[in-house]
Amino acid sequence: MTIVDPLPGEDQVLRAHELRKEYGTGTGLVRAVDGVDLAVTAGETLAVMGASGSGKSTLLHLLGGLERPSGGEVWLAGRRVDTMTEKELALLRRKAIGFVFQAFHLMDELTAVENIELPALLAGDSPRAARRGAGELLERVGLSDRAGHLPTELSGGQRQRVAIARALINQPLVVFADEPTGNLDSAATTEVLRLLDSLHTAGQTLVIVTHDSRIAATADRLISMRDGGFVEETRLRHGSGRMVGELAGLEG
Amino acid sequence: MSGGTSSKEPPHGFQLRVVQEVLLALLAKEAAHGYQLRALLQRALGPLAEVLNAGHVYVTLNRLDKAGLVTSQRVGQADRPDRKVYELTAAGRERVTEWLGDTSWPKPAPAEFHLKLVAAAEAGLGDPERLVDTQRHAVLAELAAVQRAALAEPDGSAAGLLLEGVVLRLQADLHWLETCARYWTVRKGSA
Amino acid sequence: MGRILLICRLAVRDLRRRPGEAALLLLTLTSATAMLTLGLVLTGVVGRPFENTQEATSGPDIMASVAPIDGQAADVARLEALADEPGVTAHSGPFPYSQSEVSAHGVAAVAWAQGRDTGPAAVDQPALTDGGWVRDGGAVIEASFAEALAVGVGDTITLDGRTFDVVGVAVTANTPPYPKSCFAPCYFEGEEKLNTLPPPVRGKDAPPTAAFLAGPSGLVWLTDSDARSLVTTPDHLAYVMNFKLANPADAQAFTNAHQPHAHTEPFVQNWAEVLSGHTWIVEKKQETMQAGSILLGLLALASVAVLVGGRMADQFRRVGLLKAVGGTPRMVAAVLLAEHLVLALAAAAAGLAIGRASAPLFTDPGSGLIGSAGTPPFSLATVGLVTGAALAIAALSTFGPALRAARTSTLSALLDSARPPHRTAWLNTLSARLPVPLLLGLRVASRRPRRTLLGVLAVTVTTCGIVTALAAYANRYLAEKAAGDDPRLAISQALTLVTVVLIVQACVNAICITRTTILDTRRSAALARAMGATPRQISAGFAMAQALPALIGVLAGVAGGIGLAEALDDDPVTVPPLWQLLAVIMGTMVVITALTAVPVRISARRSVGEILHGDSR
Query: Nearest CA to CA, how far is A91 from chain C (Å)?
Result: 6
Q: Tell me which chain A residues have a C-beta less than 8 angstroms from the C-beta of C615.
A: 103
What's the rounded Cα separation, in Å, for the pair C423 and A150? 10
Q: Does B70 touch chain A (CB under 8 A)?
A: no
The answer to whether residues C18 and C314 touch, using CB atoms and an 8 Å cutoff, is no
Count the Cβ atoms, other than its own, within 10 Å of residue A90: 25
What's the rounded Cα separation, in Å, for the pair C451 and C446? 9
Provide the pLDDT for residue C192: 36
Query: Nearest CA to CA, how far is A235 from chain B (Å)?
Result: 7
Contact B48 A231 (CB under 8 A): no
Q: From 2.60.120.10, 1.10.510.10, 1.10.10.10, 1.10.240.10, which CATH number describes the B19-101 domain? A: 1.10.10.10
Tell me how long chain C is. Answer: 617
Q: Most C CBs within 10 Å: which of A91, A104, A105, as the mutation test of the C interface?
A: A105
Domain boundaries, chain C: 49-276, 426-617
Distance of CA A113 to the CA centre of its chain: 21
Provide the pLDDT for residue C407: 67
* H or E, element range at B74: strand B70-75
Q: Does A226 touch chain B (CB under 8 A)?
A: yes
Asked whether the CA dihedral C46, C52, C53, C58 is positive or negative, the reply is positive
Asked whether the CA dihedral C581, C587, C590, C596 is positive or negative, the reply is negative
Statement: residue A6 has pLDDT above 50: no
Instruction: Give pLDDT tens digits for B94-137.
Output: 999 999 998 888 888 889 999 999 999 888 888 888 999 999 99
Instruction: Give pLDDT tens digits for B63-103.
Output: 888 988 889 888 877 777 778 889 999 998 999 999 999 88
Q: Does A103 touch chain C (CB under 8 A)?
A: yes
User: Rounded to the nearest 5 degrees, what angle is found at the Cα of A93, between the Cα atoms of A90 and A97?
Assistant: 165
Q: Does A241 touch chain B (CB under 8 A)?
A: yes
Instruction: Give pLDDT tens digits for A183-209.
Output: 999 889 999 999 999 999 999 999 999
Query: Nearest CA to CA, how far is A217 from chain B (Å)?
Result: 4
Please name which of C614, C448, C440, C452 lies closest in space to residue C525, comparing C-alpha atoms: C440
The answer to whether residues A223 and A60 touch, using CB atoms and an 8 Å cutoff, is no
Q: Which of residues 64-93 of A touch C (CB under 8 A)?
A: 66-68, 86-87, 90-93
Contact A67 C432 (CB under 8 A): no
Please name which of A41, A45, A46, A43 lies closest in space to residue A9, comparing C-alpha atoms: A41
The answer to whether residues C328 and C9 touch, using CB atoms and an 8 Å cutoff, is no
Mean pLDDT, rounded, of chain A: 88
The answer to whether residues C211 and C99 touch, using CB atoms and an 8 Å cutoff, is yes
Contact B47 A241 (CB under 8 A): yes
- 3-state DSSP call for residue A204? coil
Query: Nearest CA to CA, how far is A243 from chain C (Å)?
Result: 39
What's the rounded Cα separation, in Å, for the pair C76 and C593? 69
Provide the pLDDT for residue C247: 87
Provide the pLDDT for residue C410: 59
Contact A239 B167 (CB under 8 A): no
Contact A238 B5 (CB under 8 A): yes
Average pLDDT over residues A127-140: 93
Q: Does A56 touch chain C (CB under 8 A)?
A: no
Q: What is the dihedral of CA C404, C407, C412, C414, to 10 degrees?
A: 70
The answer to whether residues A191 and A161 touch, using CB atoms and an 8 Å cutoff, is yes
Query: Nearest CA to CA, how far is A210 from chain B (Å)?
Result: 13
DSSP H helices, A171-220, are 186-201, 213-216
Query: Nearest CA to CA, how far is A111 from chain B (Å)?
Result: 29
Q: Which of residues 94-113 of B touch A (CB under 8 A)?
A: 106
Peptide bond before residue C179 is cis, with ω within 30 degrees of 0:
yes
Average pLDDT over residues B25-53: 84
* H or E, element range at B144: helix B128-152
Average pLDDT over residues A163-172: 94
Query: Do chain A and chain C touch with ≥3 beta carbon pairs under 8 Å?
Result: yes
Contact A90 C604 (CB under 8 A): no
> Residues of C358-392 as b/e, b for ≥16 C-beta within 10 angstroms?
ebeebbbbbbbbbeebeebeeeeebeebbbebbbe
Amino acid at C581: L
Q: What is the dihedral of CA C272, C278, C283, C286, to 10 degrees?
A: -140
Query: Do chain B and chain C touch with ≥3 beta carbon pairs under 8 Å?
Result: no
Domain boundaries, chain B: 19-101, 111-190
Give the global pTM: 0.73
Q: Tell me which chain B residues have a C-beta less than 8 angstroms from the C-beta of A236.
A: 3, 140-141, 144
Query: Nearest CA to CA, how far is C449 from chain A (Å)?
Result: 13
Average pLDDT over residues B159-188: 90
- Phi, psi angles (nearest 5°) of residue C227: -65, -45
Statement: residue A112 has pLDDT above 80: yes
What's the rounded Cα separation, in Å, for the pair B18 and B39? 17
Angle formed by the axes of helices B128-152 and B158-190, nearest 10°: 170
Provide the pLDDT for residue C195: 37
Instruction: Give pLDDT tens digits for A20-67.
Output: 999 888 888 888 898 999 999 999 999 999 988 788 999 999 998 888
Count the Cβ atoms, other than its own, within 10 Å of residue A124: 11
Amino acid at A235: R
Contact A66 C531 (CB under 8 A): no
CB-based contacts of C234, cutoff 8 Å, min separation 6: C73, C228
What's the rounded Cα separation, in Å, for the pair B90 and B92? 5
Interface of C with A (CB under 8 A): 420-423, 428, 432-433, 436, 439, 443, 446-447, 523-524, 527-537, 604, 607-610, 612-613, 615-616
Question: Which chains contact A through at least 3 pairs of Cβ atoms less than 8 Å apart?
Answer: B, C
Contact B163 A244 (CB under 8 A): yes
The answer to whether residues A137 and A171 touch, using CB atoms and an 8 Å cutoff, is no
| ipTM above 0.85 for this complex | no
Contact A166 C531 (CB under 8 A): yes
Contact A87 C613 (CB under 8 A): no
Instruction: Give pLDDT tens digits for B147-160.
Output: 988 888 888 888 88
CB-based contacts of C438, cutoff 8 Å, min separation 6: C431, C541, C544
Those residues of chain C that have pLDDT short of 50 are 188-211, 417, 478-479, 616-617
Statement: residue A7 has pLDDT above 50: no
Tell me how long chain A is. Answer: 252
Asked whether the CA dihedral A31, A37, A39, A44 is positive or negative, the reply is negative
Q: How far is CA C344 from CA B148, C137, C335, in A?
A: 68, 63, 14
What is the total count of domains within chain A? Answer: 1
- Max distance between CA atoms of chain C, in angstroms, equals 99
Question: What confidence category does residue A9 fall into, taking pLDDT thresholds of 50, 70 and 90?
Answer: very low
The answer to whether residues C237 and C96 touch, using CB atoms and an 8 Å cutoff, is yes
Q: Does A186 touch chain B (CB under 8 A)?
A: no
Q: Does A150 touch chain C (CB under 8 A)?
A: yes
Count the Cβ atoms, other than its own, within 10 Å of residue B112: 7
What's the rounded Cα separation, in Å, for the pair C178 and B162? 106
Q: Tell me which chain B residues have a C-beta less than 8 angstroms from the C-beta of A232.
A: 130, 133-134, 136-137
* H or E, element range at A233: strand A229-235
Q: Say which CATH number the domain at A50 has.
A: 3.40.50.300
Q: How far is CA A232 from CA B34, B131, C367, C468, C561, in A?
A: 49, 10, 94, 75, 73
Provide the pLDDT for residue B155: 81
Comparing CB atoms, the residue among A86, A102, A170 nearest residue C616 is A102
Provide the pLDDT for residue A239: 62
As a whole number of Å, the CA-based R_g of chain A is 19
Statement: residue A161 has pLDDT above 80: yes
Contact C607 A66 (CB under 8 A): yes
What's the rounded Cα separation, in Å, for the pair A232 and B2? 10
Q: Does A234 touch chain B (CB under 8 A)?
A: yes
C484 — alpha (psi -120 to 50), left (phi > 0) or beta?
Answer: left
CB pairs under 8 A between A and C: 91
Q: Tell me which chain C residues have a C-beta less than 8 angstroms from the C-beta of A94.
A: 531-532
Residue A95's domain comprises: 42-66+85-236
Q: Tell me which chain A residues have a C-beta less than 8 angstroms from the C-beta of C428.
A: 109-111, 114
Amino acid at C42: L
- 3-state DSSP call for residue B172? helix
Q: Tell me which chain B residues have a C-beta less than 8 angstroms from the C-beta of A226.
A: 129, 133
Contact C616 A118 (CB under 8 A): no
The answer to whether residues C266 and C184 touch, using CB atoms and an 8 Å cutoff, is yes
- Phi, psi angles (nearest 5°) of residue C505: -60, -40
Query: With DSSP H G I counted as helix, E B as strand and the rest as coil, what are the percentages for chain A, rounded to 5?
Result: 35, 25, 35
Contact A108 C607 (CB under 8 A): no
Return the residue of A nearest to C529 by Cα: A90
Q: How far is CA A178 from CA A120, A163, A204, in A?
A: 22, 12, 16
Return the residue of A nearest to C426 by Cα: A110
Q: Tell me which chain A residues have a C-beta less than 8 angstroms from the C-beta of C608.
A: 66-67
Residue A99, beta-bridge partner list: A176
Q: Tell me which chain C residues have a C-beta less than 8 angstroms from the C-beta of A174.
A: none
**Residue A170 in domain:** yes
Write out the DSSP string of B19-69: HHHHHHHHTSSS-EEHHHHHHHHHHHHGGGGGGB-TTHHHHHHHHHHHHTS
Peptide bond before residue C94 is cis, with ω within 30 degrees of 0:
yes
- 3-state DSSP call for residue C59? coil
Q: Does B133 touch chain A (CB under 8 A)?
A: yes
Provide the pLDDT for residue A4: 36
Provide the pLDDT for residue C561: 86
Contact C421 A91 (CB under 8 A): no
Q: Tell me which chain A residues have a C-beta less than 8 angstroms from the C-beta of B52.
A: 245, 250
User: Rounded to the nearest 5 degrees, what angle is found at the Cα of B97, between the Cα atoms of B94 and B98?
Assistant: 85
